[in-house]
Amino acid sequence: MTEVYRSAEIAAALANVDLTAAMEAAFLAYSSGRAVVPPVGELLFAEPPGEVHIKYGYVRGEPYYVIKVASGFYNHPALGLSSSNGLMLLFSQETGELKAVLLDEGLLTDHRTAAAGALAARYFAPPRVDAIGILGTGIQAELQLRYLAPVTACRRVLVYGRSEAAIASYQHRLADTNFSISGVPSTEDFGDCQLIVTTTPSAAPLLHSVSRGTHVTAVGSDTAGKQELDARLLAMADVVVVDSRAQSASRGEVFQAVRSGKLDMERVSEIGQVIAGERRGRQDAADISIVDLTGVATQDIAIARAVYERLTAAQPSSLT
């Protein structure tokens, strides 16, 4: 019997899931070679303009396989519609049955991405953080900060956005937290920030320099056309880490830096390799570290499984 869950139930279940642990396991599984992840399926639309991505796969030895559908129709917000949409399908590897339809409307992708950012900060941020720098003011900029709360004691936040209204909205949406959030007119004001998270879909670099000892998690660029970090930052970084070296060959910040000749792919590790202790992480408080996340299917598999197990554990049994 296939269970169907709506976004409100999924959001409630998510509150009781240790997502950072789930992402840690997801990156380990990805880098261990136990994951089977075919190329992303893509469906493009001209009128109205949009794109649909189908990501799917499984981890050998785990109970489920997962298919995720995520769509983006970029003119929709002007019509009062959501630009993004999506769902996840969770099937049994053992029986082939469709166990659950998670009608999350993109919520799970947003949260698994934010949890991966928090995990990156836990592994790579320096011990002392005077301020957190956030590039962008959208849903991902919001969630990244929420997920950072348990990872760092720092509560001073500098945010750079495309307008004062966008920054005011960001501050308003995070008013329930104990972060102290100030807008800055330029990313050059991030000099005090030893922990920076970039979350925009910018096509041109927005962050050109950082202080010694800074960690940057780059979340926004996940295609060949998006770039938030000046390639010189990757050239000067002591540690450059990605979620997937295979994906970074064609998308994200590392792709841009390698293409421009400023970074050698040999220097790039996977976060799963660092978690496993196979590759080195930050060695010194003065190191500059960069983690470039383009998003891998094992994250979707892990969050779908964690939420599903939470949803089914929470159900009162009809037999008791």
- Exposed, middle or buried: residue 317 (CB in 10 Å: 0-12, 13-18, 19+)? exposed
Residue type (1 letter), 169 = S
Least Cβ distance, residue 266 to its own copies (angstroms):
31
Of the candidates 24, 27, 64, 85, which one interacts with its own copies according to CB under 8 A? 85
- Kind of pairing, strands 3-6 and 98-103? parallel
Q: Which of 49, 50, 48, 102 is nearest to 71 (CA)?
A: 50
Of 103, 139, 235, 265, which lies in the binding site for its own copies, with binding defined by CB under 8 A?
103
Asked if 139 is part of the footprint of its own copies (rule: CB under 8 A), the reply reads no
Would you count residue 101 as binding its own copies (CB under 8 A)?
Answer: yes
Interacting stretch for its own copies, rule CB under 8 A, among 66-74, 137-145, 211-219, 222-230? 66-74
Neighbour-count burial of 15, counting CB atoms closer than 10 A to its CB (0-12 exposed, 13-18 middle, 19+ buried): exposed
- Residue 139 neighbours by CB distance under 10 Å: 17
> Using the rule CB under 8 A, which residue among 20, 31, 71, 194 binds its own copies?
71
Residue 10 · residue 102 · CB < 8 Å: yes
CB-wise, 89 or 303, nearer to its own copies?
89
Active site residue 68: yes
- Single residue of 8, 16, 21, 38 touching its own copies by CB under 8 A: 38
By CB under 8 A, name the one of 8, 21, 81, 285 that touches its own copies. Answer: 81
Q: Rg for the chain (alpha carbons), in Å?
A: 19
The reply to whether 246 sits near its own copies by the rule CB under 8 A is no
**Position 49 contacts its own copies (CB under 8 A):** no
Q: What stretches of 45-138 show up as alpha helix (H) in DSSP?
A: 107-124
Indicate which residue of 68, 99, 226, 262 is catalytic. 68
Instruction: Write the DSSP string, 16-62.
Output: TS-HHHHHHHHHHHHHHT-EE-PPPEEEEEETTEEEEEEEEEEETTS
Determine the interface stretch with its own copies among 85-93, 179-187, 261-269, 281-289 (rule: CB under 8 A). 85-93
186 is an interface residue for its own copies by CB under 8 A = no
Which residue, 41 or 225, is less far from its own copies as judged by CB? Answer: 41
The count of C-alpha atoms lying within 13 angstroms of the C-alpha of 250, restricted to the half-sphere facing its C-beta, is: 4
Rule CB under 8 A: say whether 286 interacts with its own copies: no
* Contact range with its own copies by CB under 8 A, out of 56-64, 159-167, 188-196, 221-229: 56-64
> Token digits for 138?
């959208």
Residues in the site for its own copies, rule: CB under 8 A?
Answer: 2, 4, 36, 38, 41-45, 47-48, 50, 52, 54, 56-58, 60, 65, 67, 69, 71-73, 76, 79, 81-83, 85, 87, 89, 91, 93-98, 101, 103
